[in-house]
Structure 1
Amino acid sequence: MIHQYKSNGFNIVMDVNSGSVHIVDDVVYDVLPYLEKKESKEEILKALANSYAPAEIEEALEECHELEEAGALFTEDIYENAIDAFKNRPTVVKALCLHIAHDCNLACRYCFAEEGEYHGRRALMSYEVGKKALDFLIANSGSRRNLEVDFFGGEPLMNWQVVKDLVAYGREQEKIHNKNFRFTLTTNGVLLNDEVMEFCNREMANVVLSIDGRKEVHDYMRPFRKGKGSYDLILPKFEKFAESRHQDKYYVRGTFTRHNLDFASDVLHLADLGFKQISVEPVVAQPEEEYALREEDIPAICEEYDRLAKEMIKRHKEGRGFNFFHFMIDLTGGPCVYKRLSGCGSGTEYLAVTPWGDFYPCHQFVGEEQFLMGNVEEGIKTPQIQAEFKNCNVYAKEKCKNCFAKFYCSGGCAANSWNFHKSINDAYDIGCELQRKRIECAIMIKAALAAEEKEN
């Protein structure tokens, strides 16, 4: 299975099963569809006779056959036959999303968490509940040494003392159990101050800073409850925080909606402010929401990704490069086989914990009572839910089987699939279209930078 496309002057060919990527000339590019249909040399020569000389076609065919023999073109899928072993692997929990605060000091219009309430009530996690959650993680992590805990909300800084206390408890337990905690934090910045920054720089492996881009965009979608915008308050804090972390191990993370389909301008605005680690992601919302993305928006969004990719190449050449999360792709190592097949591990390796200690498959399922999995007191009480998520992989989804992006997106987000189709084994269609485009752009950027390096 191959995927070929043209982008920014490059003819790009992906061999899906091996992960090989080739930049080819026009002759090879035009020969490949015939080879994929297993047409004979004579048929190919006849079909392309008006476009290329026979010698050119024969040379292209020889190059393709060499790549095929080297295992870099038209390779077989080696993963599908191993899927049973994959599904039967032991379940080990390695990460928790602690909902340290079901409350928020902003009223973001697109918030899936309903200003922190998650279809429920406002609440702050107690130290005792958080402590039991960490104990559960340690007890269910098996031999895995590296564990991850994300402090999430609502707004985690509204429960800052408990965050600090749980980090201290985790550090104590590391020594006792030979574990290593990687703590992360997501914040809207309203309560960010020097003390929080100092603590995070000492203890947090990564920090996500929520900002949507340009002032008018951010203030419209992320206001306080009385309507005032939050941009002017948080921006200086975020700039200071990013510099204090040496422009590393953080993200400024935004959301674009139907109100700013020119979102590349928001990404570039953040880059112009000096941020080097940027993520601006599409909103996921039901179509009746006025800010929701719709199918008719897809062409404009794809054009915007192209615009952003070309500008990123230009800035890299000028020494002004930055990272854009959705264009970051590893073509050499990449994720392990389990990650390629099943994605984030929600419901199995990764769980969300509510302020009162209930377990859900991930933060986006919180409040959906049919996905309540257990609690910190009793552990997992519904193993059938865990089994359902364990069997969720790219081969369980009809939409994924013949998609070139399946080993990059790993089947997409289970929560998005549930929200749009009431099945975790389906896929959010708009999200799929945009993911495919982002992968194409990411690979094109790699091609352009490799070409530049070769020239130099």
Structure 2
Amino acid sequence: MNDMMKSEYSILPFNFRRLPGQRLLLVNPSGEFIFVSSDNFNDLLNHNLTPQNPVYFELKGKHFLADTDFDFAQEMVATQLRSRKSFLRHFSSLHMIVVTARCNFICDYCHASSAALEQQRADMTWSVAKKTVDLIFSSPSPILKIEFQGGEPLLNWPIIREIVQYGEFLNRFAKRQMEFVICTNLTLLTDEMISFIKEHKIMISTSLDGPKPIQDGHRKTREGYSGYDAFRKNLQRLRDGIGPESGSALLTITRTNLNKLPEVIDHYVELGFDGIFLRALNPYGFARQNIAQLGYSMEEFVAAYKPILRYLIDLNIQGIPFAEYYTTLLLQRIFTAFSTGFVDLQSPSGAAISGVIYDYNGEVYPTDEARMLARTGDKRFRMGHVLKNSYEEIFAGPLVKELVKKSCIEVLPGCASCVFQAYCGVDPVRNYVETKDIVGHRPGSDFCKKNTLILEYLFQLIDENDPDVMDVFWSWITRRPLEEIRHDSSDRNRS
């Protein structure tokens, strides 16, 4: 085709990547995607694509090209992009409070490097707690989620109780959508705690790495008893007192259970959980010290992730509803234009913008990882102190501005041209830990390797378009039963 016959259309911005099988994945800034052949890709770039080719209208409909409606196409992309950035509108909604650094466990992968039981000075005082709650209500966010962390937060139960009651009192006037979560190993749970948790509708998040040998192997109690046995007993007491669905569990993957994930999944199902978060080990605290024994490469992690995702899909097909939460977050970002609210997958970084953590001593940090780093003596990310600084000084100070400025994925080296940019995020604290620089060397980072490999695999599955796989994915995204998704799919096919 000569230049006089070239099609008259404008090519809108997009990034691309060749997937196995020679198909190319194209993604625009708003996250719309399309798979095209090499021939169609070359024709698009050379302005040789014509309306007679069906892919022409698919590219136009998804705003990769525009012919007579260039301004409209730009506005549509901008509207979708605003939806993806909606988490910026209300600022911090997740507020994590470390009510104590003490813990009755000494886990060899503990990110927080917990304090011993006798270190009473590692407990939050009421003066710090009250000021922390006052600061939380200074946030403009219509949603306030207060998450109690430790150490083991139940060791300072009186402060948890006071914070909940004071927060609910303030909310009579503030009228925010308010939630409370306690992250606990469950071993110290009492009947009084269960009654209070039920009365105030507090959510419980606990830890489970697998069956007893795996759980007790890394999560050791300071007093020598089996933490797993206490966990099982109190999980049942919690469910008897509140309901069968009370409590979610968080998995830490070490070298011990990396190749035993089917066994771990089966144990989660056996205990009545309906999902799991496949979380790679983070390089903080004791985990960093013990990385030679506990760690693995991101290539090894994703090599284990791929078959376990297939295992989970098969479980759902067999009638056992069970989701993988990290995959679900990525799928939500791929198939919808809405913000997921997950701090690690935001640009600019969700650090301080979406979530913040208040240490037991009143110091404020943008992420839990930043607080963990401070435990080692490096307070690079200290935002301020609840008793010494105002809300404006803490949340509009130079550190937060620097984090925002240096965590916009759209302009970061190595990210600006990445096809997965719209679905990924930025972790400035981890960049600093690995390279001593907030921006870091993105292509060589574990964060980048993990997300790139997982996203590439997910897009391969999406391109294959297996009906069973896609129905399971949509059941996870929409949180609807698989049978409902299949019924809707069959209705669409008939129509």
State the TM-score bracket (shorter-chain normalisation): 0.7 to 0.9
Cα 1:201/1:2, change in 2 over 3 Å:
farther
Counterpart among 282, 297, 315 of residue 280 in structure 2: 282
**Structure 1 segments unaligned to the other structure (5+ residues):** 43-57
Deviation at 1:386, TM superposition (A): 1.6
**Structure 2 segments unaligned to the other structure (5+ residues):** 1-14, 67-72, 473-484
Match of 2:430 in 1: 416
Match of 2:351 in 1: 346
Match of 1:372 in 2: 382
1:359 is aligned to 2:359: no
Counterpart among 433, 456, 471 of residue 450 in structure 1: 471
Instruction: List per-residue Cα deviations over 1:41-93 (Å, max 9, x = no partner).
Output: 69xxxxxxxxxxxxxxx99x9232221111255799967xx99xx8xx88844
Amino acid across the alignment from 2:428: A
**Contact 1:96–1:149 (8 Å) recurs in 2:** yes
CA distance in 2, matches of 1:116, 1:397: 38
Amino acid across the alignment from 2:32: S
Moved more, 319-328 or 13-22: 13-22
Deviation at 1:135, TM superposition (A): 0.6
Cα 1:230/1:64, change in 2 over 3 Å:
same
Match of 1:20 in 2: 32
CA distance in 2, matches of 1:402, 1:360: 31
**Contact 2:104–2:223 (8 Å) recurs in 1:** no
Cα 1:6/1:214, change in 2 over 3 Å:
farther
Deviation at 1:216, TM superposition (A): 2.0
**Contact 1:256–1:263 (8 Å) recurs in 2:** no
Deviation at 1:213, TM superposition (A): 1.4
1:291 is aligned to 2:289: no
Alignment map for 1:378-389 (pairs within 5 Å): 378-380=388-390, 381=393, 383-389=397-403
Cα 1:337/1:35, change in 2 over 3 Å:
farther
Counterpart among 163, 168, 193 of residue 166 in structure 1: 163
**Contact 1:219–1:228 (8 Å) recurs in 2:** no
Alignment map for 1:19-38 (pairs within 5 Å): 19-21=31-33, 28-29=36-37, 31=39, 34=42, 38=45
**Contact 1:287–1:294 (8 Å) recurs in 2:** no
**Contact 1:209–1:238 (8 Å) recurs in 2:** no
**Contact 1:294–1:430 (8 Å) recurs in 2:** no
Match of 2:4 in 1: none
Amino acid across the alignment from 2:209: D
Alignment map for 1:174-323 (pairs within 5 Å): 174-204=171-201, 206-225=203-222, 228-239=225-236, 241=238, 248=245, 250-265=247-262, 266-285=264-283, 286=288, 289-295=291-297, 298-323=298-323
Match of 1:425 in 2: 439
**Contact 2:349–2:404 (8 Å) recurs in 1:** no
How high is the TM-score relative to the length of structure 2?
0.73
Cα 1:334/1:198, change in 2 over 3 Å:
farther
**Contact 1:348–1:389 (8 Å) recurs in 2:** no
**Contact 2:25–2:33 (8 Å) recurs in 1:** yes
Match of 2:61 in 1: 70
Moved more, 248-257 or 340-349: 340-349
Task: Please list every run of at least 4 consecutive aligned residues from structure 1 whose deviation after the TM superposition is greater than 6 angstroms.
Answer: 74-77, 336-340
Higher strand share: 1
* SS class of match (1:181): strand
Deviation at 1:103, TM superposition (A): 0.6
**Contact 2:135–2:386 (8 Å) recurs in 1:** yes
* SS class of match (1:311): helix
CA distance in 1, matches of 2:340, 2:65: 21
Alignment map for 1:45-124 (pairs within 5 Å): 62-71=53-62, 73=64, 92-116=91-115, 123-124=122-123
CA distance in 1, matches of 2:417, 2:278: 28
CA RMSD of aligned residues (A): 3.8
Cα 1:234/1:243, change in 2 over 3 Å:
same
**Contact 1:212–1:218 (8 Å) recurs in 2:** yes
Match of 1:153 in 2: 150
Deviation at 1:196, TM superposition (A): 2.8
Cα 1:289/1:423, change in 2 over 3 Å:
same
Moved more, 70-79 or 426-435: 70-79
* SS class of match (2:320): coil
How high is the TM-score relative to the length of structure 1?
0.79
**Contact 1:315–1:321 (8 Å) recurs in 2:** yes
Identity %: 19
CA distance in 2, matches of 1:64, 1:333: 22
* SS class of match (2:178): strand
**Contact 1:103–1:122 (8 Å) recurs in 2:** no
Deviation at 1:4, TM superposition (A): 5.6
**Contact 2:16–2:418 (8 Å) recurs in 1:** no
**Contact 1:405–1:439 (8 Å) recurs in 2:** yes
CA distance in 2, matches of 1:274, 1:337: 26
Deviation at 1:248, TM superposition (A): 4.9
Deviation at 1:255, TM superposition (A): 0.6
Amino acid across the alignment from 2:454: R
Cα 1:199/1:288, change in 2 over 3 Å:
closer
Deviation at 1:224, TM superposition (A): 1.3
